[in-house]
Amino acid sequence: MTAGRGNWGSRVGFVMAAAGSAVGLGNLWKFPYLTWENNGGAFVIVYLLAVLVIGLPLMMSEILVGRKTQLSPVPAFTSLGGKKWSALGWLGVTSGAIIQAYYIVIAGWSLRSFVQCLGWSLQGYIAPAESEFGEFLSNGPLQIGLAFLFTLFTASIVYRGIGGGIEKANKILMPALFAILMYLVLTALTMEGRSEALTKIFMPNLSTLKLRGFLEAVGQAFFSLSLGLGAMVTYGSYLDKKESIFKSALWVVVLDTLVALLACVAMFTIIFSVSGLGSRVSGSTIGMLFITLPDLFYTHMPGGVILGPLFFVLVAFAALSSTISLGEVTTSLVIDLIGWTRARATIVTTCVVFIGSILSALSLGANGLLSSFEFFEGKKGVLSTLDHLAANWMLPVGGFLITLFVGWKLGRRTCMDELGLLQSNPAFTAWLWIVRIVAPAAVLILLISVIMGKDFS
């Protein structure tokens, strides 16, 4: 262990932090939306398969690289694979910085929605005008201010380091998140839309399954499990040598998937409980979370006055535990590579990434040029462009290279030792061949389809 890098206090500490990274806007917003768009059941099955076949083995691979080297991605891949492989680390860190830059802007919206709901709970609900959300998005100073607040929250935790900052925060954020989510789900299940919702989510209609759904499921598994950029390499680098990588990874994957499914159950039930709404929810990935739901809380849901503000605490907590992990990726790089103190590394990397956040914040209508340029077809403005670039290109490429690296370059012996499995163990053989062949092949199909024009952001 490099002196002073810090360490998780326990496996629970690691699992909470890694699950915190994984559980985020991807679970609360992207997963329900994708499930809705892909007609439910069959998509959920494919997603679960993607998580099991690609997600879990890749999560183990990333943790393995981090734990083996006790270093952040750039020096980790360099020390195991030689100078050439440092590029893989750089790709990851760049992806992390890009995601952080725009993710923090969306995370900031949860703060505004929280305040707005608090006002409605105290003073009575007034349905906002239809143009209201658009006006909020194009308010540049407000967007920058909210992103700044969220950046400040994130940095103040990363600044305190692994045990005293990140682990401690997640040990509060994650149980609170689960409690609020359970309350939301249980309340939702008292509403009459529940059976329609459960049928839609859990009864697969295989005839509606399209290749597109399969590919979207793989992309979502990457994003939701925080894979393909080295976030799990970084968190794995602080994991104690005696902890089981398989068990730790399994916990993270199960928790992340559970939150995604629960969020879906809650949202679908609420939507199906309002007659006629089902056919109107579409068109916007953001709309469901920030416009439709708050309205339903106050107009249709029992106890909505409490659930309204609480729900956005949930969203903020989920997002914060994810932005913390992204902040740690860039901060730990600077600590390992240049040898700066954590304080200095946190401040400098935060400032650099915040420049990207300012550009993203102004690209929602406040600044004409930043909002309207179109690099990828149909993706207008900085925020959408960065999201498209990271989710469609950088994470899959990173994930593909990581599986190749661990499967073919690292060597059987190293993997066995680090996983604590014997060569004769069929579980090891299964894992190895999944990492060598199955996972990269699936990702390759995804990449080829992206090249041929399919969008996954």
* Smallest gap from residue 46 Cβ to ligand PHE (A): 18
The residue (of 110 and 226) whose beta carbon lies closer to ligand PHE is 226
* Smallest gap from residue 326 Cβ to ligand PHE (A): 5
Q: How many helices (H) and strands (E) does the chain have?
A: 24, 2
> Are residues 235 and 66 in contact, defined by beta-carbon separation less than 8 angstroms?
yes
Give dist(CA 53, CA 287) in Å, integer: 31
* Smallest gap from residue 294 Cβ to ligand PHE (A): 20
The residue (of 121 and 224) whose beta carbon lies closer to ligand PHE is 224
Write the single-letter amino acid at 112: R
**Two tokens at 133?**
């959300």
* Smallest gap from residue 372 Cβ to ligand PHE (A): 27
> Are residues 217 and 50 in contact, defined by beta-carbon separation less than 8 angstroms?
yes
The residue (of 154 and 226) whose beta carbon lies closer to ligand PHE is 226
The residue (of 27 and 269) whose beta carbon lies closer to ligand PHE is 27
End-to-end Cα separation, the chain, in angstroms: 38
Write the single-letter amino acid at 259: V
* Smallest gap from residue 291 Cβ to ligand PHE (A): 19
What would the DSSP string read from start to end of 303-365?
A: THHHHHHHHHHHHHHHHHHHHHHHHHHHHHHHHHHH---HHHHHHHHHHHHHHHHHHHHGGGT
The residue (of 77 and 102) whose beta carbon lies closer to ligand PHE is 102
The residue (of 243 and 256) whose beta carbon lies closer to ligand PHE is 256
Give dist(CA 148, CA 108) in Å, integer: 8
Give dist(CA 57, CA 227) in Å, integer: 11
* Smallest gap from residue 27 Cβ to ligand PHE (A): 5
Which of 77, 244, 234 has its CA nearest to residue 162? 234
| Length reported for the chain | 457
The residue (of 80 and 326) whose beta carbon lies closer to ligand PHE is 326
At residue 398, the 3 state secondary structure works out as: helix
CA distances from 392 to 93, 254, 260, 445, 451 (A): 16, 24, 20, 13, 9
Which residues face 376 on adjacent strands? 379
Chain residues binding ligand PHE by CB under 6 A are 21-22, 24-27, 99, 223-224, 226, 229, 231, 322, 325-326
* Smallest gap from residue 22 Cβ to ligand PHE (A): 5
The residue (of 16 and 229) whose beta carbon lies closer to ligand PHE is 229
* Smallest gap from residue 188 Cβ to ligand PHE (A): 21
* Smallest gap from residue 73 Cβ to ligand PHE (A): 12
The residue (of 301 and 318) whose beta carbon lies closer to ligand PHE is 318
**Two tokens at 89?**
């680390």
* Smallest gap from residue 49 Cβ to ligand PHE (A): 18
The residue (of 92 and 304) whose beta carbon lies closer to ligand PHE is 92
Residues 6+ apart with CB under 8 A from 249: 56, 59, 60, 63
Neighbours of 123 (CB within 10 A): 8
The residue (of 19 and 46) whose beta carbon lies closer to ligand PHE is 19
The residue (of 97 and 432) whose beta carbon lies closer to ligand PHE is 97
CA distances from 101 to 303, 394, 395 (A): 35, 15, 15
Give dist(CA 256, CA 249) in Å, integer: 11
- Rg, the chain, Cα only: 21
* Smallest gap from residue 301 Cβ to ligand PHE (A): 24
* Smallest gap from residue 17 Cβ to ligand PHE (A): 11
Which of 138, 73, 148 has its CA nearest to residue 107? 148
Strands (DSSP E) found in 5-129: none
Q: What is the distance, to the nearest Å, from the Cα of residue 399 to the centroid of all Cα atoms in its chain? A: 15
